[in-house]
Structure 1
Amino acid sequence: MQTAGAAGLLAVALSVPAMAAEKPSFDCGKVQAGSIEELVCQDAGLTKLDQQLAEVYAQAADKAKNEQPPMLKAMQRGWVKGRNECWKSEDKRACVELSYQTRIAELQAQYRLVEMIGPIFYACNGNPANEVVVSYFKTEPATLIAERGNQTSLMYVQPSGSGAKYQGRNESLWEHHGEAKIVWGYEAPEMTCVVKPQ
């Protein structure tokens, strides 16, 4: 029995230097047992995502210095609360991983931290005044920001048999061969939109 215990202690001792090198952006010594933060501390993949988010957040904060009203910190606090709700999920790790990936992509798109295609102007339902302006971002997962009037929607790429399909909170865009099917708002009718010549 002692041999198994000694082997276990040796395994822990050998893994400590590796763990020390990879730390999340918060103090693992202060997290609650069983919390989502503890899961992040114990998982190398999630730790890496936390580090990546910390870097992207710092870049976004630099760009948001003169933002009025200042939204970034409040949004980040809200995101942390949302991530911590993953304890309710059946697959906690998958929930946390997706939470990090979408937040990183969101910040990269909102603060223009990655390569972008656009803006592309779409005229919808045959009316040039019914315009949706779209910027595509090379995030992981891929994102776009669509603007219509004074409203903005961040959308994430979805699996699609053909073309590129993006989904936001109440908006969607499915682009195929230069034509886009756009739904703007909860249960709104689908619009057929084509790229406007510039």
Structure 2
Amino acid sequence: MFLSGYGHPAVSGVLFTTFVLAAPSVFADPQSVSAAAATDVAAVLPHALPAPQVIVLTEAELPKGKDAETRKAEDLARDQALRAKCKAIPKDTYDKYLCERRAQVDLVNQLDELLQQVATLTPRWPVDVAADQAQWESRRNACRTDQDVKMCLEFAYLERIGQLQAQFGLVAADGPIAYQCGDTALQLTYHATNPPLVEVSHAGEHRLAWMRPTDMGVYYRGEVTVREYRGGADVTWAQQTWACQQTSQ
């Protein structure tokens, strides 16, 4: 689910709607519809769409995914293989988590695949992927000394993946939404990454911040800080903090 704060609906899926068409005169005067016409849609709506055909599939024809027991067995086998591969690495270390923890290995693979994908794409604004990657690797490596190495690594990868997804428009987005901050105009765009992030545009520059847990409104922190409240937001850009009001949806 993509949570984007007050007034910014989630982009969460596809809405399926069934439309029933009818001639206005039929509803204006129900008595004008004969018994025959009431049972014959074509008589009332000569141009009505044909009724959808229902195709019934047999049990053998139904698409089947893996059941819970199969997935559990596969995960267990993979965990055992990773533990065997990484056995010589000391426990609860940076290198151990990168090598052995299945969720972390999946994030490493996802980032590697994403970097290959964006190499052939054009970013939404000028981006130096190589320089960003080098800076990110320095921040990731700082997790070696973090009190919670496991969570530090996981969030580092999630944020880098989200950064690339926003820069190259690879996820659903809500915006840009205009905010006026005194004499300063900003645009905020909310991206359905994990965790959700907000892109703040100002004077041709784009900065990103990721949603953080908070008890007071919606809070984003990163290259810029955004604290949302109904109809507005406090935005800290470099050393400047603005009180902003939303001017468009």
Which residue of structure 1 lines up, in the alignment, with residue 172 of structure 2? 115
RMSD: 3.0
1:1-198 to 2 correspondences below 5 Å: 18=78, 33=89, 36-64=94-122, 71-125=128-182, 127=183, 130-169=184-223, 171-186=224-239, 188=240, 190-197=241-248
**Structure (1/2) with the larger strand percentage:** 1
1:89-117: CA deviations, max 9, x gaps?
22221211111111111111122110000
Q: Which residue of 2 aligns with 1:10?
A: none
Q: Secondary structure at the match of 2:174?
A: strand
Q: 1:17 to 1:172 in 2, by over 3 A?
A: closer
How far 1:141 moved relative to its partner? 0.8
Q: CA deviation at 1:55?
A: 2.6
1:59–1:113 contact (8 Å) kept in structure 2:
no
Q: For 2:103 and 2:237, locate their aligned partners in 1 and report how far apart those are by CA, in whole Å.
A: 36
Residue 139 of structure 1 and its aligned partner are, at CA, apart by 0.6
C-alpha spacing 1:191/1:79, structure 2 compared with 1 (3 Å) = closer
Residues 116/197 of structure 1: CA separation in 2 closer, same or farther (3 Å cut): closer
Count how many residue pairs are aligned between Structure 1 and Structure 2.
Answer: 169
Match for residue 55 of structure 2?
A: none
Tell me, which stretches of 5 or more residues in structure 1 are unaligned? 1-14, 23-27
- Structure number having the greater helix percentage: 1
Identity of counterpart residues, as a percentage? 27
Q: Normalising by the residue count of structure 2, what TM-score does the alignment of the two structures yield?
A: 0.58
Determine which structure has more spread, i.e. the larger CA radius of gyration: 2
| One-letter amino acid matched to 1:196 | T
Structure 2, unpaired ranges of 5+: 1-74
Question: Do the aligned partners of 2:179 and 2:248 also contact (CA within 8 Å) in 1?
Answer: no
**Deviation digits for residues 121-172 of structure 1, max 9, x if unmatched?**
11112x4xx2001111011111011011133211111223243211223x32
Question: C-alpha distance in 2, partners of 1:36/1:42?
Answer: 10
